């Protein structure tokens, strides 16, 4: 019999509910923390099958046996936690902080810049990737660049600068990622998990005047693709092709997201806050 997920630990607010943020939220929920994640009203998620943020569109969503649900307000988080569900709030401005009073805050938006996170928002704040400085705007920075330092905890200074080059998967970097060339409405022509060959049309961008094809640059499995009828701007990531060709990878958390999630959990453990008398008293009441 499957054990019910119990979320009774300290409150952790995760900014963002995309792919990497979901790796964080998933790991922390597994560890029993009361995770709440915030999103924008219309999130852009290429790998949406493995994003808790998909609940913004679908109402409810599950990633590797952990469920998330869109909730209306912070008062709805308690009932969600009691049933082992990660609540998702549409609250990019973090108005919920006043009522939730999170012990930990993790900025997992991966915007490559800080768009409003401050150290005074929680007892311990963590920023993922470039754009944050440990000891200034956050307490801890987690390295997100693939390679030897992925998941490294940085207590002074910043993560590696954004390279602008997608991570190497199966020997491919820029070639495996697809971008929009103009603004319009994205129309999916393939499904995530489908095998594609170089030159195959995976989507169209319609702007009311004409349609522009977006074609695969390499052979592989379509690991990510924006949802059909998504409004987009120019130079937006719309697809991701995995040259390794394993369909299972499309529906499971990536090694990068797992590493980052584990690093965040370690950083929280090292903060010593989990052993503070104040926090223990809060949980005993």
Question: Domain check: are 142 and 268 in the same one?
Answer: yes
Q: What is the CATH number of the domain that holds 193?
A: 2.40.50.100
Q: Above 60 in pLDDT, residue 2?
A: no
Domain that holds residue 276: 11-163+254-284
Domain assignment present for residue 6? The answer is no
Domain assignment present for residue 5? The answer is no
All residues at 6 or more sequence positions from 60 whose CB lies less than 8 Å from its CB, including other chains: 67, 68, 69, 70
DSSP one-letter code for 24: H
Q: What is residue 1's predicted lDDT score, i.e. its pLDDT? A: 45
Confidence of residue 167 (pLDDT cuts 50, 70, 90): confident
pTM of the shown model: 0.93
CA distance 188 to 214: 10
The pair phi, psi for residue 277, each rounded to 5°, is: -55, -40
Number of domains in the chain: 2
Confidence of residue 272 (pLDDT cuts 50, 70, 90): confident
Domain assignment present for residue 168? The answer is no
Q: What is the CATH number of the domain that holds 275?
A: 3.40.50
Question: Domain check: are 63 and 149 in the same one?
Answer: yes
CA distance 18 to 263: 17
Structural contact between residues 51 and 22, judged by C-beta atoms closer than 8 angstroms: yes
């Amino acid at each position: 019999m499957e054990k019910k997920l119990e979320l009774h630990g300290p409150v952790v607010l995760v900014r963002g509910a995309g792919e990497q943020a979901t790796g964080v939220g998933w790991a922390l929920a597994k560890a029993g923390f009361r995770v709440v994640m915030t999103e924008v009203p219309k999130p852009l998620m290429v790998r949406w099958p493995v994003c808790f943020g998909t609940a913004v569109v679908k109402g409810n969503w599950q990633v590797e046996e952990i469920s998330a649900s869109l909730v209306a307000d912070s008062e709805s988080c308690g009932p969600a936690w009691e049933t082992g569900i990660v609540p998702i709030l549409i609250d990019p401005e973090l108005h919920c902080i006043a009522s939730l009073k999170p012990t930990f805050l993790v900025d997992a938006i991966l915007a490559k810049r800080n768009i409003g996170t401050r150290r005074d928002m929680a007892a311990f704040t963590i920023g993922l990737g470039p754009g944050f400085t440990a000891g200034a705007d956050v307490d801890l920075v987690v390295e997100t660049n693939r390679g030897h330092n992925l998941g490294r905890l940085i207590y002074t200074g910043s993560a590696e600068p954004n390279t602008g080059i997608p991570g190497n998967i199966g020997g491919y970097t820029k070639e495996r990622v697809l971008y929009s060339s103009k603004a319009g409405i994205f129309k999916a022509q393939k499904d995530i998990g489908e095998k594609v060959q170089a030159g195959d049309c995976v989507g169209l961008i319609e702007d009311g005047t004409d349609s522009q094809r977006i074609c695969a640059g390499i052979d592989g499995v379509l690991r990510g693709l924006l949802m059909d009828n998504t409004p987009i701007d120019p130079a937006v990531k719309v697809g991701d092709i995995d040259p390794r060709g394993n369909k299972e990878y499309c529906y499971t958390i990536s090694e990068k997201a797992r590493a980052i999630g584990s690093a965040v959990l370690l950083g929280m453990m090292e903060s010593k806050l989990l052993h503070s008398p104040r926090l223990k008293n809060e949980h005993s009441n």
